[in-house]
């Protein structure tokens, strides 16, 4: 043998002794039932898989709030679902209006550009929600065939709160609306049919509290008609929706499906259906508002003003003289809690998606955060923060 085996250590010598509490921008903690499902292998074709897939589609329709959308999955990150939505709807020369609030909505625009789309960018001011009038003006000016937009920009914690109005306006102009709901789905309202959304994209590792790497998307009837009529060749084989339809709707082979990941998604979706969406939205909103209140009572400032503030991921300004990286390191080493930095912004981000929105998780995260701030020279009132968190959670009201 010319190449000897490498010298490696077992995983338990790499992983921390105790699992870290994942309170960043995803992946998030997963329920035990999801973890168990993720450890099972079954045949990727056949009756058992067919039953699982049918249930996954039915539950996804509930979570997307749609009756007829074509539901597909993809073995890949949420970015693969973004790419699948974009590359099937955008052909060379297709006019695309990309509403950009930050990093991930810019990624959608870049994907459309790489598909040969004629991409027009509508850049929204930092920290602001896209306003219906400004998007409508761009829609009238450009008459695009496709519009891309994000419901929540995880990167800078901005929420497009007028997505329903914006989506309906585009829909009325026969423009197909592609929505990235990766960090928001099942954490807040999303109504695919009622809002006239044509393609919705999500990942597993955020609101759904499943694993990263297996993602879901849905196409409206109009979007699916466009895909069926498409003449331009598809450069991507794995992401070709008409081929994926073979597996997701015709019990047949496209590629070997990520069976364990689909089983994990099944359980994550089933837990959402059991909880019901209204109860889940309330749990998320209350938990996030309590965390935000606690952070502010400590004396910290949040990045985004309430009108545009995302609940699913909270962005916190780092006080002068404090190193965000050191705070994160301290939280991780001393308290075994992980949170996220940001894409070039001087903020820290705490996630509020799925299993992160549990009282035990936010108390631990807020305490670890405040204490690590103090240890790194931040002047925060930790007891006041914890007291406010307790007060809002006990009150149970969202305002």
Question: Residues annotated as binding site for substrate?
Answer: 349
Phi then psi for 167, rounded to 5 degrees? -65, -45
Residue 202 Cβ vs ligand PLP, minimum distance, rounded to whole Å: 9
Q: In angstroms, what CA-CA distances link 110 with 37, 83, 205, 211, 227?
A: 35, 10, 23, 26, 20
Residues 43-62 that bind ligand PLP (CB under 6 A): none
**Three-class secondary structure of residue 237 per DSSP:** coil
Q: What track of x and - describes contact with ligand PLP for positions 157 through 176 (by CB under 6 A)?
A: --------------------
Counting contacts by CB under 6 A, is residue 341 touching ligand PLP? no
The 116-135 site mask, x for binding ligand PLP (CB under 6 A), equals --------------------
- Asked if residue 202 binds ligand PLP (CB under 6 A), the reply is no
The crossing angle, in degrees rounded to 10, of helices 221-229 and 78-89 is 60
Which one, of 76, 362, 353, lies nearest residue 238 by Cα?
76
Cα 272 to Cα 34, 188, 255: the distances in Å are: 12, 12, 28
63 binds ligand PLP (CB under 6 A): no
Residues in the chain: 399
Applying CB under 6 A, which of residues 71, 112, 150, 211 lies at the interface with ligand PLP? 150
- Segment interacting with ligand PLP (CB under 6 A) among 74-82, 232-240, 255-263, 286-294: 74-82
Separation between Cα atoms, residue 213 and residue 378, nearest integer Å: 37
Cα separation, 179 vs 176, in Å, equals 10
Asked if 147 contacts 117 with a C-beta cutoff of 8 angstroms, the reply is: no
Residue 77 binds ligand PLP (CB under 6 A) = yes
Quick one: DSSP state of residue 11? G
Is 154 a residue that touches ligand PLP (CB under 6 A)? Answer: yes
For residue 7, the minimal CB distance to ligand PLP (Å) is: 31
Please tell me whether residue 182 binds ligand PLP under the rule CB under 6 A: yes
Binders of ligand PLP in range 13-42 (CB under 6 A)? 25-26
# of chain residues touching ligand PLP (CB under 6 A)? 13
Binding site for ligand PLP (CB under 6 A): 25-26, 77-79, 104, 150, 154, 180, 182-183, 203, 212
């Amino acid at each position: 043998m010319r190449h000897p085996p490498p010298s490696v250590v077992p995983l338990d010598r790499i992983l921390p002794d105790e699992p870290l509490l994942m309170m960043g921008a995803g992946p998030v903690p997963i329920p035990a039932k999801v973890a168990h499902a993720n450890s099972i292998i079954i045949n990727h074709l056949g009756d058992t898989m067919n039953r699982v897939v049918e249930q996954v589609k039915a539950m996804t329709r509930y979570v997307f709030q749609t009756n007829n959308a074509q539901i597909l999955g993809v073995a890949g990150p949420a970015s693969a679902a973004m790419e699948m939505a974009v590359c099937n709807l955008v052909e060379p020369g297709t006019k695309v209006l990309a509403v950009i609030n930050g990093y991930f909505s810019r990624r959608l625009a870049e994907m459309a550009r790489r598909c040969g789309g004629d991409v027009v960018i509508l850049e929204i001011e930092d920290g602001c929600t896209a306003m219906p009038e400004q998007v409508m003006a761009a829609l009238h000016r450009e008459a695009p065939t496709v519009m891309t937009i994000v419901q929540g920009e995880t990167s800078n914690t901005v929420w497009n709160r007028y997505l329903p109005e914006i989506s309906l306006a585009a829909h009325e102009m026969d423009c197909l609306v592609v929505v990235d709901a990766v960090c928001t789905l099942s954490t807040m309202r999303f109504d695919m049919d009622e809002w006239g959304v044509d393609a919705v994209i999500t990942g597993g590792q955020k609101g759904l509290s499943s694993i990263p790497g297996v993602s879901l998307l849905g196409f409206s009837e109009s979007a699916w008609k466009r895909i069926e009529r498409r003449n331009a060749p598809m450069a991507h084989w794995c992401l070709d929706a008409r081929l994926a339809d073979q597996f997701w709707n015709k019990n047949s082979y496209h590629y070997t499906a990520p069976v364990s990941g689909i089983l994990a998604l099944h359980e994550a979706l089933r837990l959402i259906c059991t909880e019901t969406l209204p109860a889940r939205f309330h749990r998320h909103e209350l938990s996030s508002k309590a965390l935000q209140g606690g952070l502010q009572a400590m004396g910290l400032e949040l990045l985004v003003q309430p009108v545009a503030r995302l609940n699913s991921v909270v962005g916190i300004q780092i006080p002068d003289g404090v190193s965000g990286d050191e705070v994160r390191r301290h939280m991780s080493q001393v308290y075994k809690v992980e949170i996220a930095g940001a894409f070039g912004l001087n903020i820290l981000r705490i996630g509020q998606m799925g299993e992160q929105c549990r009282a035990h998780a936010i108390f631990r995260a807020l305490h670890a955060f405040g204490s690590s701030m103090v240890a790194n020279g931040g002047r925060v009132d930790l007891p006041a923060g914890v007291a406010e968190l307790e007060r809002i959670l006990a009150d149970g009201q969202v305002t």
